[in-house]
Chains A and B, each alone.
Chain A
Amino acid sequence: MATQQSRSAARLMMAPAVILLLGWMLVPLTMTLWFSFRKYLPLRGGDLGWAGFDNYTRFIGSSSFWPSVQATLVIVGGVLIITVVLGIILALLLDQPMWGQGIVRILVIAPFFVMPTVSALVWKNMFMDPVNGLFAYVWKFFGAAPVEWLSQASMQSIIMIVSWQWLPFATLILLTAVQSLDSEQLEAAEMDGASFLSRFWYLILPHLARAITIVVLIQTIFLLSIFAEIFVTTGGAFGTKTLSYLIFQRVLESQNVGLGSAGGVYAIILANIVAIFLMRIVGKNLDA
């Protein structure tokens, strides 16, 4: 379909969205790129001139850089493993016949809708507080000394909070994929005497491969930039300073914009690598 008239109308109607997003992408990106090559300290003299690749080398050379990369990888990796594994189990479970399936589904999905600052605070105070938290009570009940979660097991705590927030997402998407599995195929395999494990391994898992990839990619992109959970709980202390948080501190707390921008460029490159893989999958789907 389409005549010349409708094509020009289409171009016109697409223009606002395209122009806005183009501006939203290009303007700050260019500025970040520009700042990353400047010595720019807003509170200590402002723009102090050209810095070359100084900011880039200093950002990587700083003593906080490698720990922040490590923290990022541990958090992203930990959350991904937990959410995907539990997500598959939950999806398979929720797919079984049961009473009140709809309600269980709602219970499982709920954490996704809780705003990050709320979930971080609730976990921090009402569960992980070493004096009044529910965990402290449980530990004491079993005669153990309460753990100071956010300082002694800071990474584990953050991984746990974030996993709780993202488990619903993984479950929901994997459940959608499980439900599209051909049940006749499974029944045929069952008739052939395949055990549950071999059915899972040879039929279910390959079917879920695509959904798992998508969950991993999308979550990675969001997890790389988690902010509120760290901001509210540890403020980046106790080894929980991720790459994004480090950049945030460089830019807004120590007001070293040049350095922070160089870090930002690294973060953008990192996110783009993940995004390319995701775009491939989404793009393929567009053709179908």
Chain B
Amino acid sequence: MARAVTNNRKALNTAIAWSIGLLIFFPILWTILTSFKTEAQAISNPPVFLFFDWTLENYAVVQERSNYMRFLWNSVFIAGGSTVLGLIIAVPAAWSMAFVPSKRTKDILLWMLSTKMLPAVGVLYPIYLLFIKLGLLDTRIGLTIVLMLINLPIIVWMLYTYFKEIPGEILEAARMDGASLSKEIIYVLTPMAIPGIASTLLLNFILAWNEAFWTLNLTAAKAAPLTAFIASYSSPEGLFYAKLSAASTMAIAPILIMGWFSQKQLVRGLTFGAVK
């Protein structure tokens, strides 16, 4: 009897939760579905949900617009580059803070985080100007550096929290075993921290991929990533819903998949370890 009640309740929970989940997910689902319609079907009245003539034509069209691949490549380059660069700089820093803490470690960590809180618009012009002076405007390198810098605090922070969980004795054992500092980091620390490093990498890639202030303001044509490509649809001509959907789907699909993998680590990375 008691069991039946719990099952009923479970069924009710399930029904409510699934409805809400689908409602929240609906805009994404609708975009994905629309991307397989023809432009006419995309605005048909009444809207068609599943029973339309599925077509890949929009993807082909978006693909053909020769720049799409370049935008995509820019996104990959900028998000990937800034993440890798950030990791290379952050791993040694996080090692220092986690394993050789000093009185100032905490202050440095907090200060690093506070740079993340700097409103971008407040420093937009100086950066813009510096970029012109240094010839970095509308270059992938420039954007990579900026995105690396804005995400560096998060990378350092996440790695720090992961490294903290590794017992210092193991690194000391490596030292006793004759490992130099670089070998200690390469052979012992890094392999042990691989899960943490991987999720840091993932989250950071996502944040960089979706960044939409600097990518919109520091690029024109050459280095513009997908954020800017999609934004170009804000003043469209003719029928474009299906093509917009196809482009959007391609822009978000890889990130959605990555995000699902990293959802467990997300909380730690986004709250700076303040919620466990």
Interface residues of A, Cβ cutoff 8 Å to B: 1-2, 6-7, 9-11, 13-14, 16-18, 20-21, 24-25, 27-29, 31-32, 35, 90, 93-94, 96-101, 103-119, 121-127, 132, 134, 137, 141, 164, 167-169, 172-173, 176-177, 180, 210-211, 214, 218, 221, 224-225, 227-228, 231-233, 244, 247-248, 251-252, 257, 260-261, 264-265, 267-268, 270-272, 274-275, 278-279, 281-283, 285-287
Contact = CB atoms under 8 A, between A and B. Distances in A.
B44 to A, nearest CB: 9
Nearest to A9: B181
Contacts of B130: 27-28, 31
Main secondary structure of the interface of B (DSSP, over half): helix
Interface in B102-143: 102, 106, 108-110, 112-115, 117-130
Given A17-B112, A126-B30, A169 B270 contact: yes
Interface in B224-264: 226-228, 230-231, 233-234, 236, 241, 244-245, 248, 251-252, 255-256, 258-260, 263
Given A32-B125, A116-B227, A244-B119, A16 B251 contact: no
A95 B165 CA distance: 27
Given A108-B21, A118-B230, A264-B119, A252 B217 contact: yes
Contact of B28 (A6, A114, A248, A275): A114
A6 B100 contact: yes
Q: Which of B129, B156, B252 has the most CB of A within 10 A?
A: B252
10 contacts: A2-B100, A98-B17, A104-B17, A125-B233, A127-B27, A177-B275, A221-B117, A232-B234, A264-B122, A286-B273
Q: Which of A110, A211, A281, A287 has the most CB of B within 10 A?
A: A110
Contacts of A2: 99-100
B20 interface: yes
Given A90-B20, A100-B18, A118 B241 contact: no
Contact of A282 (B102, B152, B260, B273): B273
Interface stretch (B60-68, B192-200, B206-214): B206-214
A83 B130 CA distance: 38
Given A21-B149, A107-B21, A252-B217, A267 B119 contact: yes
Contacts, number: 311
A193 to B, nearest CB: 18
Contact of A35 (B126, B230, B252): B126
Contact of B93 (A18, A180, A228, A264): A18
Contacts of B227: 115-117, 228
